[in-house]
């Protein structure tokens, strides 16, 4: 999120998140043989687990990047853990045959950083915003740049006020 307050909220339930992760899997289940998944933590962990299960991928690696430091504004990027070279080399290096999974592409800063690490990987997200969309090969739902997505792990059950009123 580039501004401190989103004008629009997009809450995603566990059921919807699971459906979207399975829809992403269907789009990725063509002729391509994926050697491994690299999930961008933390948001990519849950969809990567679903995609790995559905596609029968056993090698699941993480790249750990911190960008949202206060859950409101995207700050500077920090790579906390890179991708293991053995995983990069599985399909000939540079990420060929690797599927990168994240929950969301927002401004594209994280996607650009990971793409630099794995230039030949296929980058897939559940949700995409316009600024980051060109950096993603496959996604399910596009939302406006001023929308804040509330993921199921960020929410509890509580009253939601009406949009207008």
**What are the domain boundaries of the chain?**
8-27+37-152
Segment 20-28 shows an average pLDDT of 97
CATH of 8-27+37-152, one of 3.40.50.2020, 3.20.20.140, 1.10.3720.10, 3.40.470.10: 3.40.50.2020
Cα–Cα distances in angstroms (integers) from residue 102 to residues 26, 49, 71, 155, 163, in the given order: 16, 11, 17, 19, 28
Query: Which tens digit of pLDDT belongs to each residue from 44-71?
Result: 999 999 999 999 999 999 999 987 655 5
Query: Which tens digit of pLDDT belongs to each residue from 72-97?
Result: 566 789 999 999 999 999 878 889 99
Q: Is the pLDDT higher at 33 or at 58?
A: 58
> Would you call 70 a catalytic residue per the annotation?
no
Please tell me which residue in 20, 31, 89, 102 is annotated as part of the active site: 102
Contacts for 61 with CB less than 8 Å, ≥ 6 apart: 36, 37, 38, 39, 83, 84, 87
Q: What is the pTM assigned to this prediction?
A: 0.87
> Would you call 116 a catalytic residue per the annotation?
no
Query: Which tens digit of pLDDT belongs to each residue from 116-150?
Result: 999 999 999 999 999 999 999 999 999 999 999 99
Least confident of 29-33, 60-64, 82-86, 111-115: 29-33
Please tell me which residue in 106, 116, 146, 154 is annotated as part of the active site: 106
> Would you call 106 a catalytic residue per the annotation?
yes
Q: What is the pLDDT of residue 154?
A: 86
Structure tokens at 19: 């459906």
Distance between CA 72 and CA 139 in Å, rounded? 23
Please tell me which residue in 31, 103, 116, 146 is annotated as part of the active site: 103
Beta pairing partners, 61: 38
Contacts for 112 with CB less than 8 Å, ≥ 6 apart: 135
């Amino acid at each position: 999120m580039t501004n401190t307050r989103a004008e629009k909220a997009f809450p995603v339930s566990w059921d919807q998140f699971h459906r979207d992760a399975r829809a992403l899997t269907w789009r990725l289940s063509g002729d391509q043989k994926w050697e491994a998944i690299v999930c961008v933590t933390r948001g990519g962990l849950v969809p990567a687990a679903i995609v790995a299960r559905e596609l029968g991928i056993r090698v699941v690696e993480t790249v750990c990047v911190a960008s949202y430091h206060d859950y409101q504004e995207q700050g500077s990027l920090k790579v906390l853990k890179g991708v293991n070279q053995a995983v990069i080399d599985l399909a000939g290096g540079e990420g060929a045959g690797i599927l990168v999974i994240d929950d969301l592409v927002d401004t594209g800063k994280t996607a650009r950083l990971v793409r630099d690490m794995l230039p030949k990987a296929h980058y897939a997200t559940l949700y995409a915003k316009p600024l980051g969309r060109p950096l993603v090969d496959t996604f399910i739902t596009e939302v406006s740049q001023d929308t804040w997505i509330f993921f199921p792990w960020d929410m509890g059950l509580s009253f939601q006020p009406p949009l207008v009123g």
